Amino acid sequence: MLRPSPQVDVNSDSSFTVVPSGCAHNCGGRCVLRAWVRGGRIQRITTDARPDDLHDPQLRACVRGRAYLRRLYHPHRLLHPMKRVGERGEGRFARVGWDEAIERVCAAMLRARDEHGPDAFFNMHGTGGASHLAGSQMSARLLNFFGGHLRHHNSYSSAAARWAAPFTLGTDDCGHSPDDWVNSKLILLWGYNPAETVFGTNTAYRLKLARRAGARIVVVDPRLSMTAQALADDWIPLRPGTDSALMDAMAFVMIAEGLHDQAFLDRYCVGFDEAHLPPGAPPGSSYRSYVLGEADGTPKSPAWAARFTQIPADRIEGLAREYAGTRPAALLPGLAFNRRAYGEQPVRGSITLAAMTGNIGLPGGGAGGVSYSVSRQVPVAEFPLGHNPVPVSIPVFLWTDAVTRGRSLGPADGVTGLPPGQPTLRSDIRFIFNTAGNTLINQHANVNRTARILRDPSLVDFIVVLDQFLTPSAKFADILLPATTWFEKNDLCTVWGLGDSVIFMNKAVEPLGECRSDFEICAAIARGLGLGHQYTEGKSELEWLEWMLGPARASDPSFPPFDEFRRRGVHVFQHARPHVPFRDFREDPARTPLRTPSGRIEIYSQRLAELALDQVPPIPVFIPEWEGGPWDPLFAKYPLQAFGRHFQRRTHSIYDNVDWLEEAMPQRLFMNPIDAAARDIEDGDEVRVFNDRGEIRLRVRVTRRIMPGVVDIPQGAWWSPDASGVDRRGNINVLTSERPTPGARGNAQHTLLVQVARA
Ligand code: SF4
CATH code at position 357: 3.40.228.10
Judge if the beta carbon of residue 396 lies within 6 A of ligand 1.
no
Residue 2 clears pLDDT 70, i.e. is over it: no
Give the end of a domain, one of 578, 611, 644: 611
For the residues 387-402, what does the mean pLDDT come to? 98
Q: Where are the beta strands (DSSP E) in 238-362?
A: 269-270, 329-333
Judge if the beta carbon of residue 194 lies within 6 A of ligand 1.
no
Helix axes 344-356, 243-256, angle to 10 degrees: 20
Q: Is residue 544, in this structure, part of any structural domain at all?
A: no
Cα–ligand 1 centroid distance for 31 (angstroms): 6
Convert the pLDDT of each residue in 596-620 to its tens digit.
999 999 999 999 999 999 999 999 9
Judge if the beta carbon of residue 132 lies within 6 A of ligand 1.
no
Q: What is the CATH number of the domain that holds 752?
A: 2.40.40.20
Q: Is residue 225, in this structure, part of any structural domain at all?
A: yes
Residue 493 phi/psi, 5-degree rounding, is -140, 150
Q: How confident is the model at residue 498 (pLDDT cuts 50, 70, 90)?
A: low
Predicted pLDDT of residue 198: 87
Q: How confident is the model at residue 376 (pLDDT cuts 50, 70, 90)?
A: confident
Are both 645 and 607 inside the same structural domain?
A: no
* Residue 506, CA atoms < 13 Å, CB-side half-sphere: 20
540: nearest Cα among 517, 513, 562: 517
Cα–ligand 1 centroid distance for 177 (angstroms): 19
Beta-sheet pairing, 491-494 with 501-505: antiparallel
Residue 164 clears pLDDT 60, i.e. is over it: yes
Q: How confident is the model at residue 499 (pLDDT cuts 50, 70, 90)?
A: low
Q: How confident is the model at residue 7 (pLDDT cuts 50, 70, 90)?
A: very low
Predicted pLDDT of residue 54: 79
Cα–ligand 1 centroid distance for 649 (angstroms): 10
Q: Is residue 459, in this structure, part of any structural domain at all?
A: no
Ligand 1 atom with the shortest distance to the CA of 61: 5
CA angle 25, 464, 78 (to 5 degrees): 60
In 10 A of CB 314, how many CB atoms? Answer: 11
Convert the pLDDT of each residue in 293-343 to its tens digit.
998 999 999 999 999 999 999 999 999 999 999 999 999 999 999 999 999
Domain span at 210:
160-375+597-611
Q: Is residue 193, in this structure, part of any structural domain at all?
A: yes
Cα–ligand 1 centroid distance for 204 (angstroms): 13
Residue 346 clears pLDDT 90, i.e. is over it: yes
Predicted pLDDT of residue 547: 98
Residue 654 clears pLDDT 70, i.e. is over it: yes
Convert the pLDDT of each residue in 687-745 to its tens digit.
999 999 999 999 999 999 999 999 999 999 999 999 999 999 999 999 999 999 999 99
Least confident stretch, 256-270, 416-430, 562-576, 733-747: 562-576
Predicted pLDDT of residue 12: 60
Alpha-carbon distance of 246 to 587, in angstroms, equals: 30
Residue 467 clears pLDDT 90, i.e. is over it: yes
Ligand 1 atom with the shortest distance to the CA of 28: 2
Are both 637 and 718 inside the same structural domain?
A: yes
Are both 661 and 691 inside the same structural domain?
A: yes
Q: Where are the beta strands (DSSP E) in 348-506?
A: 393-395, 431-435, 462-467, 479-482, 491-494, 501-505
Are both 227 and 269 inside the same structural domain?
A: yes
Are both 719 and 749 inside the same structural domain?
A: yes
Percent of the chain with pLDDT strictly greater than 90: 92
Judge if the beta carbon of residue 30 lies within 6 A of ligand 1.
yes
Give the end of a domain, one of 611, 641, 665: 611
Predicted pLDDT of residue 162: 96
Q: How confident is the model at residue 1 (pLDDT cuts 50, 70, 90)?
A: very low
Give 624's contacts (C-beta < 8 A, 6+ positions apart): 308, 631, 632
Are both 254 and 341 inside the same structural domain?
A: yes
Are both 603 and 643 inside the same structural domain?
A: no
Q: How confident is the model at residue 4 (pLDDT cuts 50, 70, 90)?
A: very low
Q: How confident is the model at residue 56 (pLDDT cuts 50, 70, 90)?
A: confident
Predicted pLDDT of residue 6: 43
Judge if the beta carbon of residue 27 lies within 6 A of ligand 1.
yes
**Contact, 435 vs 138, CB < 8 A?**
yes
> Helix, strand, coil % (nearest 5) of the chain?
30, 15, 50
Residue 423 CA, distance from chain mean position: 31
Q: Is residue 28, in this structure, part of any structural domain at all?
A: no
Q: Is residue 536, in this structure, part of any structural domain at all?
A: no
The tally of domains found in the chain comes to 2
Q: How confident is the model at residue 531 (pLDDT cuts 50, 70, 90)?
A: very high
Q: Is residue 358, in this structure, part of any structural domain at all?
A: yes
732: nearest Cα among 751, 704, 758: 751
Q: How confident is the model at residue 55 (pLDDT cuts 50, 70, 90)?
A: confident
Judge if the beta carbon of residue 652 lies within 6 A of ligand 1.
no
Residue 464 phi/psi, 5-degree rounding, is -105, 130
Q: Where are the beta strands (DSSP E) in 257-363?
A: 269-270, 329-333
Top mutation candidate among 198, 487, 498, 650 for ligand 1, by most atoms within 8 Å of CB: 198
Predicted pLDDT of residue 29: 86
Q: Is residue 322, in this structure, part of any structural domain at all?
A: yes
H or E segment and range at residue 252: helix 243-256
Alpha-carbon distance of 744 to 157, in angstroms, equals: 12
Are both 240 and 360 inside the same structural domain?
A: yes
Are both 205 and 265 inside the same structural domain?
A: yes
Burial zone of 377 (CB within 10 Å; 0-12 exposed, 13-18 middle, 19+ buried): middle
Cα–ligand 1 centroid distance for 700 (angstroms): 27
Are both 648 and 728 inside the same structural domain?
A: yes
Are both 242 and 354 inside the same structural domain?
A: yes
Amino acid (1-letter code) at residue 138:
M
Judge if the beta carbon of residue 141 lies within 6 A of ligand 1.
no
Cα–ligand 1 centroid distance for 496 (angstroms): 12
Are both 228 and 358 inside the same structural domain?
A: yes
Predicted pLDDT of residue 497: 61
Q: How confident is the model at residue 3 (pLDDT cuts 50, 70, 90)?
A: very low
For the residues 493-515, what does the mean pLDDT come to? 90
Helices (H) and strands (E) in the chain, counts: 25, 26
Higher local confidence (pLDDT), 748 or 498: 748
Top mutation candidate among 21, 26, 30, 31 for ligand 1, by most atoms within 8 Å of CB: 31
Residue 367 clears pLDDT 70, i.e. is over it: yes
Amino acid (1-letter code) at residue 523:
A
> Cα dist. 138→155, 463, 517, 659 in Å?
18, 16, 10, 30
